[in-house]
Amino acid sequence: MWFCAMKIKKLYCQPKIFDPISFHDGFNVILGESTEDDDKTNGVGKSLAIEFIDYGLLKRNSDSRVSLIPNKKIPKDFAVYLDFEINNNQITSIRSVKEPNTPTLIVNGETKVFTTLSDANDYLTSLMFGDLNQQNPPSFRNIMGPIIRDEGSEFKSIINCYDTNKRVPPDYTPHLYLLHIDPLPYLEAKYLSSQINDVVKAKRKMKENIETITGKDISEAKADLNELESQVNKVQNDIDKLENIEGFDLIKGEIIDIETQLKTIRSSKAVLQSELSKINIFNGDNYIDGEEVAELYNQFKEGLGDLIRKEIDEVTRFKKKIDDFQRTIIENRRTKLTDDISSLDMQISLLDKQYKEKISLLDQEGLLISLKQTIAAHQSKIEELSSLSTFINKHDEYEAEHKDKKRQREEKIYFLDTEKNDAKAILNSFQTSILDIHEYVYGNRKSSFEIVISKRAEIVKFELRADSDGSHSINREIVFLYDIALLLNTHTQKLHPGLLIHDNIFDVDQATLINSLNYIHANKSKLTSKQYILTLNYDKLSNEDKENLRFDIKDYECATFTKAKTFLNFKYQELSKK
């Protein structure tokens, strides 16, 4: 019984720049062929045809090669049309290259125009999974990942379905869903992983802030915090005791006022004392002795010394008059300064007495040298305590949150592991399908499939081993084994859309290619209600290969392209990717 079914019917466009391609149930092959004039089959348009199908199925324009076609090569009103079916709903997707994010869907004859690609994706998701009795299905585009693998993925991994250059993180959601494992615990665990990473970054930043403030590590900083808290409490206790004394508010105001007056008066006294010290420098008279000068110069010439002494005496008498006047002024200023300083000393003495009287009224044992200083110091300590306490408390909150998120994540991983164990029978059946295909292709059952659930960053790991795996070609074949098993297995086909597209997957040895193609043909009855679309270079098949094939590959041909007749009816050079 089918729960989910999807089919591609026809790819075409308006105005016409490529010939329509019709698809049928079962095996569909898009071939690239050489001609007598040109033996090349690359670049004929096989992969581009698949890109147009994916474009019609709402692949993001920025990720599509359709967006790399030069505008001058296509009409302005060009649109891609894709007829397909989802659970018996007949759908035509119309997507303009001019407005790629506003697709139109004609569903069972009813036209629906969407303003965003996301809305159209949600609508197709509801058509595909809305009637299923299955919890937490992936989105429509999410399930398209393993259904239409990007050729740029190089088929290196069964999980990574997208262009390797885009470095898209692995997403196990559609794979778990197809294997009947509820992907919700996985998604929740992934979300918690991202939250844990954010918390770890925030905790590390807070730790750096603490170390910057204290110059110590977190444990030493916590010890400092305790000492700082003790200091704040002691000062607060002193202040609290003061505040309990009757009339404290009045006394506190008077004390602070006295402190302010004392500070001002002492400052004024210091200025006056500085000026007085400078005046004292001018004490004493300094005059030239005339007798000594006369005696000196008379030795050189008689009468010369007497003449010079006379001149000096006259100058000295004049200078004494000036000095007497200046001395009077300085003495008057010295007296004034001394009196002013004495007056200030008396004011200081009086204020000191009043200050001691006010302080004595408080009768405290603490070392409250200055009430204003005590309150200021207390405020400073509170601010320091608040800053450090905030950082440390926030660090501890992040630490607690980190532990809680880790516990929640481990819980989700446990639920996921339980879901995996509940699906054991289905997983065993799926592995048997892989072994059957492996035996058909390689002639042995040296293969295994296992899902590993762990607490590591990736959470889930799919391990599919094949005979002599590790090489480029074997890895591609592993993807083929996995995808075909999902499509055909009795259990997984119930949730599988029934559509699989492989673009140039068979870059493998000839024996593997022939056996893989023969396997598809041998199981064509299982593909009756499904679709497998494959692109293939016809020249990969030698005459011997064609003889080893148990069918004619052209019996499944839905389109063939050559250098003379490419998918698009014109040559062009793709634009550079942005």
Beta bridge pairs of residue 460: 453
Which element (helix H / strand E) includes 94? strand 89-96
Considering the domain boundaries, does residue 347 fall inside one? yes
Q: Does residue 530 contact residue 25 with C-beta atoms inside 8 Å?
A: yes
Based on the structure, what is the number of domains in the chain? 2
Distance (Å, whole) CA 189 – CA 414: 10
pLDDT at 416: 96
Beta strand 21-22 with 26-32: parallel, antiparallel or unpaired?
Answer: unpaired
Considering the domain boundaries, does residue 443 fall inside one? no
How confident is residue 311, by pLDDT bands cut at 50, 70 and 90? confident
pLDDT at 247: 47
Nearest in space to 373 (alpha carbons), one of 531, 239, 241, 271: 239
Query: What is the DSSP secondary structure assignment for residue 24, as one 8-state letter?
Result: -
- Digit-coded pLDDT (tens) for 73-103: 899 999 999 999 999 999 999 999 999 999 9
Q: For 535-566, give one letter per residue: b (16+ CB within 10 A) or e.
A: bbbbeebeeeeeebbeeebeebbbbebbbeeb
Q: Which of 360, 386, 412 is the last residue of a domain?
A: 386
For residues 540 and 35, the model is more confident at 540
Helix axes 248-279, 304-362, angle to 10 degrees: 170
Query: What is the DSSP secondary structure assignment for residue 58, as one 8-state letter?
Result: T
Same domain, residue pair 314 and 244 = yes
Same domain, residue pair 24 and 116 = yes
- Only one residue has tokens 């790399």, namely 68
Considering the domain boundaries, does residue 463 fall inside one? no
φ and ψ of 10, to 5 deg: -155, 140
Contacts 24+ apart (CB under 8 A), 252-258: 252/371, 254/358, 255/355, 255/358, 255/359, 255/371, 256/371, 256/372, 258/351, 258/354, 258/355, 258/358
Q: Which domain holds residue 535?
A: 6-172+498-561
pLDDT at 335: 85
Same domain, residue pair 146 and 234 = no
pLDDT at 226: 66
Highest mean pLDDT among 40-49, 51-60, 251-260: 51-60
Same domain, residue pair 382 and 242 = yes
446 has a pLDDT exceeding 50: yes
Distance (Å, whole) CA 412 – CA 169: 20
303 phi-psi bin (left φ>0, alpha ψ -120 to 50, beta other): left
Beta strand 104-107 with 110-113: parallel, antiparallel or unpaired?
Answer: antiparallel
Q: List CB contacts of 551: < 8 A, sequence separation 6 or more.
A: 518, 521
Query: What is the DSSP secondary structure assignment for residue 500, as one 8-state letter?
Result: E
Three-state secondary structure call for residue 577 = coil
503 has a pLDDT exceeding 80: yes
Same domain, residue pair 151 and 234 = no
| Start-to-end CA span in the chain (Å) | 46
Q: Which of 352, 386, 420 is the last residue of a domain?
A: 386
User: pTM higher than 0.85, yes or no?
Assistant: no
φ and ψ of 552, to 5 deg: -95, 120
Considering the domain boundaries, does residue 512 fall inside one? yes
Same domain, residue pair 17 and 157 = yes
How confident is residue 292, by pLDDT bands cut at 50, 70 and 90? low
Q: Does residue 13 contact residue 89 with C-beta atoms inside 8 Å?
A: no
pLDDT at 253: 72
What tokens appear for 121 in the block?
């994706």
Distance (Å, whole) CA 546 – CA 539: 10
Q: Which of 333, 363, 386 is the last residue of a domain?
A: 386
Least confident of 193-202, 354-363, 364-373, 566-575: 364-373
39 has a pLDDT exceeding 80: no
**Helices (H), ranges, 286-423:** 290-298, 304-362, 371-422
Distance (Å, whole) CA 183 – CA 515: 34
Query: What is the DSSP secondary structure assignment for residue 505, as one 8-state letter?
Result: -
- 331 class by beta-carbon count within 10 Å (0-12 exposed, 13-18 middle, 19+ buried): exposed
- Which amino acid type is present at position 132? L
pLDDT at 175: 97
- Digit-coded pLDDT (tens) for 161-202: 988 888 888 999 999 999 999 999 999 999 999 999 999 998
CATH classification at residue 118? 3.40.50
376 has a pLDDT exceeding 60: no
Q: Give the number of other CB atoms < 10 A from CB of residue 460.
A: 25
Considering the domain boundaries, does residue 399 fall inside one? no
Considering the domain boundaries, does residue 455 fall inside one? no
Same domain, residue pair 158 and 227 = no
Name the average pLDDT for the chain: 84
- Digit-coded pLDDT (tens) for 475-487: 999 999 999 999 9
Alpha-carbon distance values, 65 to 13, 150, 163 (Å): 16, 11, 12
- 206 class by beta-carbon count within 10 Å (0-12 exposed, 13-18 middle, 19+ buried): buried
Same domain, residue pair 46 and 154 = yes
Mean pLDDT across the stretch 453-460?
93
**Would you call the peptide bond into 138 cis, given omega within 30 degrees of 0 as the criterion?**
no
Distance (Å, whole) CA 405 – CA 407: 5
Highest mean pLDDT among 41-50, 112-121, 128-137, 386-395: 112-121
Same domain, residue pair 149 and 284 = no
Same domain, residue pair 343 and 240 = yes
Least confident of 152-156, 176-180, 245-249, 541-545: 245-249
Q: Does residue 223 contact residue 231 with C-beta atoms inside 8 Å?
A: no
Same domain, residue pair 145 and 12 = yes
What tokens appear for 193 in the block?
């992983």
Q: Give the number of other CB atoms < 10 A from CB of residue 116.
A: 11
Mean pLDDT across the stretch 220-235?
63
What tokens appear for 304 in the block?
């010369």
How confident is residue 365, by pLDDT bands cut at 50, 70 and 90? very low
Q: List CB contacts of 101: < 8 A, sequence separation 6 or more.
A: 61, 116, 117
Considering the domain boundaries, does residue 430 fall inside one? no
pLDDT at 368: 44
Considering the domain boundaries, does residue 436 fall inside one? no
Same domain, residue pair 15 and 140 = yes
443 has a pLDDT exceeding 80: yes
Q: Does residue 531 contact residue 23 with C-beta atoms inside 8 Å?
A: yes
